[in-house]
Amino acid sequence: MYLEEVKEMSVKLYLKDSYLRDFKAKVLEKGVRDGLNYVVLDQTAFYPEGGGQPWDLGWISGKEVVKVMEEDGIIYHYLTEPVEGEVVEGVIDWQRRFDHMQQHLGQHILSGAFEKILDGETVAFHLGKEKVTIDINLDNISDEGLMLVEEEANKIVYRNLSVKNYFVTEEDVKKLPLRKPPKVEENIRIVEVDGFDYSGCGGTHPQNTGEVGIIKIVRKERVKGNTRIEFLCGQRALKDYHLKNQILLHSSSLLSRPYWEVAEGIEKLFQEITLLTKENKGLNEQLLIYKGEEMYRKGEKLGGITVVESFTEGGNIKELSLLSSIITEKEKVVTLFVNKGEKTGIIFAGSKDLDLDMNNLLQEILSIVGGSGGGNKYKAQGGTTNTNNLDQILPRAKELLEKQLLQG
């Protein structure tokens, strides 16, 4: 069958009745495209992706519909398995469809409220599985402004205004106070929220604003000179409220404060943590100084210098690095530290009164055990994931160090 004939015969049932959950249709074409089975029907209630709204899911003759796309006026239903027969029955995933209807109408209402309250134009719309966003052509929107817009939008929901959709001619479009002009020049479909909002739109929507339930703005962020508004409607908003309420009550219990004092309690905790972290850092540094003194006293004398060596497992590499710096503040001392872990760390350091090259020493060791790293003549650090020959690092490093001392 020619595509021109398919285009002419396919009827978009979802434009007439967004509540239609099942239907029968004749198969006009079927086959495989892009590795998926597909079918084209003479009529369909499946909404194809478009206008910021995702496609419907569901079943055709018991076969799962995984994607619905419109190309050149042809609606392709992609399925997990091929469909048999010339007449099929389609069933829409209603929970998904109604969710999209709530979010999409909520977007119309919210966009209308932004225009009315802040003179902000919606320049982008995205309806995702979890997030719904619109981009408003204002680079800065205050929290107070958002609250006024949200209140206005929910007033429209509570008034339970009727939602109409109808087709008009290009000439009729000029007579309507459209917030969003149509993107097509024929088969122009208008979605009207009873005197409040007029938009050119081919999506699915409830018949009354009350079915949106509630519109809740949850986040804002600046994006390329616009403000992106994330919001939720209906069941999504209810789930979000339930989750956040549970988190708030749990936090209230942990802090032993009423929920309205949770933010104050968290702020106080952060202040206490910051103070304790600072105190702990000071105590830890003092402990490392004592530890460094003890390790220095037990260090091995080699060619007129003190060598402090350490092989640890699962230690804190940052603390070891600080410890090596503390020890090498003394005169004529070298630290050779190895910390075995998922990635074994190697730290070689020497006091600045010595004419030794710690980076050269590290590179020679890394050539034996593998790995990478670098530094300067006074301190070098590297690591390896190789677990072979780790016990040879310190003995070999001392041999090479002694060789440097003899050459010097």
Closest to 68 in 3D by CA, of 13, 137, 123: 13
Cα–Cα dist 119/113, whole Å: 9
Determine phi and psi for 138, rounding to 5 degrees: -125, 130
Instruction: Among 61, 92, 123, give the residue marking a domain's end.
Output: 92
Are 111 and 242 contained in the same domain? yes
Instruction: Among 41, 65, 92, give the residue marking a domain's end.
Output: 92
> Which pair of tokens denotes residue 337?
């530290």
Say how many domains are in the chain.
3
Are 44 and 106 contained in the same domain? no
How confident is the model over 257-288, as pLDDT tens digits?
999 999 999 999 999 999 999 999 889 889 99
| Residue 223 belongs to a domain | yes
What pLDDT is stored for residue 9 in this prediction? 59
Instruction: Find the angle CA(86)-CA(88)-CA(92) to the nearest 5 degrees.
Output: 155
Are 109 and 224 contained in the same domain? yes
Instruction: Find the angle CA(145)-CA(147)-CA(149) to the nearest 5 degrees.
Output: 70
Are 129 and 83 contained in the same domain? no
What pLDDT is stored for residue 405 in this prediction? 83
Please report the DSSP string for 111-176 in residue order.
HHHHHHHH-PPEEEEEE-SS-EEEEES-S---HHHHHHHHHHHHHHHHTT-BEEEEEE-HHHHTTS
Are 233 and 129 contained in the same domain? yes
Closest to 334 in 3D by CA, of 284, 407, 404, 383: 404
Are 374 and 232 contained in the same domain? no
H or E stretch at 102: helix 94-118
Cα–Cα dist 112/179, whole Å: 7
- Checking if the pLDDT of 126 tops 70, the result is yes
Cα–Cα dist 316/167, whole Å: 70
Over range 88-112, report the average pLDDT: 96
Are 228 and 245 contained in the same domain? yes
Which residues are within 8 A (CB) of 197 and not within 5 positions of it... i.e. 6 or more apart? 108, 109, 111, 112, 179
Q: Determine contact, residues 157/109, Cβ cutoff 8 Å.
A: yes
Are 31 and 107 contained in the same domain? no
Q: What percent of the chain has pLDDT over 70?
A: 98
Are 81 and 112 contained in the same domain? no
Are 15 and 127 contained in the same domain? no
For the chain, report the end-to-end CA distance as a whole number of angstroms. 91
The domain that contains 211 carries what CATH number? 3.30.980.10
Closest to 180 in 3D by CA, of 230, 118, 124: 124
What pLDDT is stored for residue 5 in this prediction? 39
Instruction: Among 72, 92, 112, give the residue marking a domain's end.
Output: 92
| Residue 344 belongs to a domain | yes
Strands 11-12 and 43-44: parallel
Average pLDDT, the chain: 91
The domain that contains 366 carries what CATH number? 3.10.310.40
The domain that contains 84 carries what CATH number? 2.40.30.130
102: phi > 0 → left, psi -120 to 50 → alpha, else beta; which?
Answer: alpha
Cα–Cα dist 43/46, whole Å: 9
**Cα 8 vs. chain centroid, distance in angstroms?**
42
Q: How confident is the model at residue 408 (pLDDT cuts 50, 70, 90)?
A: low
| Residue 281 belongs to a domain | no
How confident is the model over 191-204, as pLDDT tens digits?
999 989 999 888 99
| Residue 277 belongs to a domain | no
Show the domain range for 333: 289-407
| Residue 255 belongs to a domain | no
Q: Determine contact, residues 314/341, Cβ cutoff 8 Å.
A: yes
Which residues are within 8 A (CB) of 108 and not within 5 positions of it... i.e. 6 or more apart? 191, 193, 197, 199, 201, 205
Are 123 and 240 contained in the same domain? yes
Q: What percent of the chain has pLDDT over 90?
A: 77
Are 207 and 347 contained in the same domain? no
| Residue 351 belongs to a domain | yes
How confident is the model over 218-265, as pLDDT tens digits?
999 999 999 999 999 999 999 999 999 999 999 999 999 999 999 999
Q: Determine contact, residues 45/23, Cβ cutoff 8 Å.
A: yes
| Residue 164 belongs to a domain | yes
What pLDDT is stored for residue 107 in this prediction? 96
| Residue 191 belongs to a domain | yes
